[in-house]
């Protein structure tokens, strides 16, 4: 199981190790990893990934830059989290290996918040869900990875 914190300080961990902003030392690698994780149920084309992680920035060769970044990300994951094949490539698209379960704090936060909204007529239940959501909140989404 991969556990990911994106609320506040970024961190990803499993039984083999952990990575955070300080150990990755690249905002682009972190953005790429988080984008893949948040979209882990579907393959993403190189164009879609490049558009998201570089947005307004001019990149001479986005496909080449992405291949290089993807290589660095795979190496970083392997060196810190184990030998699994975390990122798959198929027909010009990249995807997270769905055989590796992932738990993301922001998704858990959203589920608790939505459950609380749904239970607003049951005050005790709603309060419990809101408290659980508050316990998950550690700061703004990807607060150290802006730019």
The pLDDT tens digits of the residues spanning 77-117 come to 999 999 999 999 988 899 999 999 999 999 999 999 999 99
Q: What is the pLDDT of residue 140?
A: 77
Q: Which ranges of the chain would DSSP assign to H, the alpha helix?
A: 21-24, 27-38, 46-54, 62-81, 105-118, 123-136
Rounded-to-integer distance, Cα 73 and Cα 88, Å: 12
Given a contact cutoff of 8 angstroms between Cβ atoms, the answer to whether 54 and 68 are in contact is no
Cα(72)–Cα(78) distance, integer angstroms: 10
Is residue 147 pLDDT above 70, yes or no?
no
pTM: 0.85
pLDDT (mean) for 25-54: 91
Domain-wise residue ranges, the chain: 2-103, 105-136
Q: Are 73 and 32 in contact (CB under 8 A)?
A: yes
Radius of gyration of the chain (CA): 17
Q: From CA 80, how far away is CA 108, in angstroms rounded?
A: 24
The 10s digit of each residue's pLDDT in 42-66 is 999 998 998 888 877 777 787 888 9
Q: Which fold has domain 2-103?
A: Arc Repressor Mutant, subunit A (1.10.10)
How many whole angstroms separate alpha carbon 55 and alpha carbon 31?
A: 11
């Amino acid at each position: 199981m991969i556990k990911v914190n994106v609320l506040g300080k970024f961190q990803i961990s499993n039984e083999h190790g952990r990575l955070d902003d300080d150990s990755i030392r690249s905002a682009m690698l972190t953005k790429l990893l988080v984008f893949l994780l948040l979209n882990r149920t579907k393959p993403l084309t190189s164009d879609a990934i490049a558009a998201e992680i570089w947005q307004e920035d001019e990149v001479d060769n986005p496909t080449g830059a992405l291949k290089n970044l993807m290589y660095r990300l795979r190496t970083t994951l392997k060196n810190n989290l184990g030998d699994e094949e975390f990122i798959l490539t198929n027909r010009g698209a990249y995807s997270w290996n769905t055989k590796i379960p992932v738990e993301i704090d922001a998704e858990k936060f959203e589920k608790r918040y939505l459950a609380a909204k749904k239970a607003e007529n049951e005050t005790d239940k709603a309060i419990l869900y809101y408290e659980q959501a508050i316990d998950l909140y550690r700061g703004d989404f990807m607060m150290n990875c802006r730019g």
